[in-house]
């Protein structure tokens, strides 16, 4: 059920009649006649990604942009169509479910890694990665340099392996090429959080420049969705939501939290039929997704209202007062947004 509130009062919608819309994954259009609310079939391996507590919610997202040595960010050789595995550059060799072997020797890899520039305090050592072996070498080098804590390095290795296993088992074409390209971007963004930690305010607006964190998040989750068995149901409800928003109403989704990838899954299912909703949805976010360095890059691409969980406010007694004040500030910000600043689409999960 979804509820919409505005100057005309409150409108509630019950479950609609059987409907469906094509959900496109990288250019592939698929339909399903199953009834019910919007749903996405995640591959079985997807569950393993969030099961490890070392990476509690690093489950939402790689971008079409890379940083050049002069510090400017321009389109790079990134995956642009996961459904058909299309790249800006040609990739030779067949898909392999095993580790790619780098053509360079270990010594050669180290020389390449050491030669990469550090610009504005950020190491760009994850740029231009071509193989799993090289990526592992970069992680090791960053730990040795002291820019990355040892435990974080271990977390990066585990995150990479979990993601690799999930994508490879999905049967997508050129799986290893996708994994290396996506994860080199993800680990670059995570490393940046150790070098220059980002701080979220009570109300965070999604960041799309100078780095497109929204696309970054979409591309990370895209190959984990089974678009052949996914659909967007109850189209009339989403049509009505968009109509109400454009008329000046506020709309709030109420639903149970399922996975840390929910924001990306929702946006991926809406991006073709209702892109306005996909890009303008604001999520109520708990403290973990805005404090964990592995999660922060994914959260930076979403519109957020940030709160501390009531259940954990007193976990650290010395921080309880600060958390209570922060939550009060967020509630005041939410009130201002809903009453005075245009219209809002919120998802309370």
User: What is the C-alpha separation between 338 and 332, in angstroms, rounded?
Assistant: 10
The DSSP call for residue 344 is: -
- How far are the Cα atoms of 21, 170, 247, 264 from residue 32, in angstroms, in the given order? 8, 19, 31, 20
User: What is the C-alpha separation between 161 and 79, in angstroms, rounded?
Assistant: 19
Give the gyration radius of the chain's Cα atoms. Answer: 21
Residue with tokens 């550059």: 89
For residue 338, give the 3-state DSSP assignment. Answer: helix
Q: Report pLDDT for 210.
A: 93
For residue 129, give the 3-state DSSP assignment. Answer: coil
Domain boundaries 46-197, CATH class = mainly alpha
- How far are the Cα atoms of 86, 189, 253, 323 from residue 301, in angstroms, in the given order? 24, 12, 19, 23
- What is the torsion angle, in degrees rounded to the nearest 10, for the CA atoms of residue 117, residue 213, residue 259 and residue 280? 170
Q: Are 5 and 249 in contact (CB under 8 A)?
A: yes
Burial class of residue 19 in the structure, from the number of CB atoms within 10 Å of its CB (0-12 exposed, 13-18 middle, 19+ buried): middle
The secondary structure of 234-296, three-state, reads CHHHHHHHHHHHHCCCEEEEECCCCCCCHHHHHHHHHCCCCHHHHHHEEEEECCHHHHCCCCH
Which helix (H) or strand (E) covers residue 137, if one does? helix 132-145
The neighbouring-strand residues paired with 75 are 65
User: What is the C-alpha separation between 226 and 319, in angstroms, rounded?
Assistant: 42
The DSSP call for residue 15 is: P
2-41+222-348 falls under which CATH superfamily?
Glycerol-3-phosphate (1)-acyltransferase (3.40.1130.10)
User: What is the C-alpha separation between 19 and 42, in angstroms, rounded?
Assistant: 21
* Exposure of 243 in the CB half-sphere (CA atoms within 13 A): 7
The secondary structure of 104-123, three-state, reads CCHHHHHHHHHHCCEECCEE
For residue 216, give the 3-state DSSP assignment. Answer: helix
User: What is the C-alpha separation between 40 and 325, in angstroms, rounded?
Assistant: 37
Domain boundaries defined on the chain: 2-41+222-348, 46-197
pLDDT in tens, the chain (349 residues): 322 233 333 333 333 333 455 566 554 333 333 333 444 444 444 444 443 333 333 333 333 333 222 333 333 333 323 333 222 333 333 333 323 322 332 333 343 344 445 555 688 899 999 999 999 999 999 999 999 999 999 999 999 999 999 999 998 889 999 999 999 999 999 999 999 999 999 999 999 999 999 999 999 999 999 888 888 889 999 999 999 998 888 898 887 766 778 889 999 999 999 999 999 899 888 888 899 999 999 999 999 999 998 888 898 899 999 999 999 999 898 888 888 665 677 776 5
235 token code pair: 């189209």
């Amino acid at each position: 059920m979804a509820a919409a509130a505005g100057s005309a009062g409150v409108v509630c919608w019950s479950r609609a009649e059987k409907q469906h819309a094509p959900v496109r994954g990288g250019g592939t259009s698929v339909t399903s006649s199953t009834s019910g609310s919007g749903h996405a079939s995640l591959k079985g391996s997807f569950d393993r990604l969030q099961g490890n507590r070392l990476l509690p919610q690093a489950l939402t997202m790689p971008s079409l942009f890379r940083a050049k040595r002069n510090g400017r960010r321009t389109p790079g050789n990134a995956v642009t169509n996961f459904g058909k595995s299309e790249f800006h550059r040609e990739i030779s060799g067949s898909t392999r479910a095993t580790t790619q072997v780098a053509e360079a020797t270990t010594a050669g890899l180290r020389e390449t890694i050491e030669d990469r520039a550090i610009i504005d305090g950020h190491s760009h050592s994850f740029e231009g990665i071509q193989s799993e072996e090289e990526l592992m070498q970069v992680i090791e080098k960053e730990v040795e340099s002291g820019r990355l804590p040892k435990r974080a390095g271990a977390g990066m290795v585990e995150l990479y392996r979990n993601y690799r296993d999930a994508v490879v088992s999905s049967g997508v074409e050129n799986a290893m090429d996708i994994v290396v390209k996506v994860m080199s971007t993800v680990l670059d963004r995570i490393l940046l959080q150790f070098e220059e930690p980002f701080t979220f305010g009570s109300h965070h607006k999604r960041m799309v420049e100078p780095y497109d964190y929204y696309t970054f998040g979409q591309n990370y989750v895209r190959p984990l969705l089974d678009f052949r068995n996914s659909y967007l149901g109850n189209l009339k409800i989403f049509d009505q939501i968009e109509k109400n928003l454009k008329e000046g109403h506020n709309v709030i989704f109420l639903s149970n939290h399922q996975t840390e990838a929910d924001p990306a899954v929702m946006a991926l299912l809406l991006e073709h039929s209702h892109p306005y909703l996909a890009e303008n949805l604001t999520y109520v976010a708990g403290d973990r997704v805005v404090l964990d360095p592995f999660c922060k890059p994914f959260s930076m691409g979403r519109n957020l209202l940030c709160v501390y969980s009531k259940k954990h406010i007193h976990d650290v007694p010395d921080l309880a007062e600060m958390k209570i004040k922060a939550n009060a500030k967020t509630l005041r910000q939410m009130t201002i947004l809903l009453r005075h600043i245009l219209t809002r689409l919120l998802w309370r999960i």
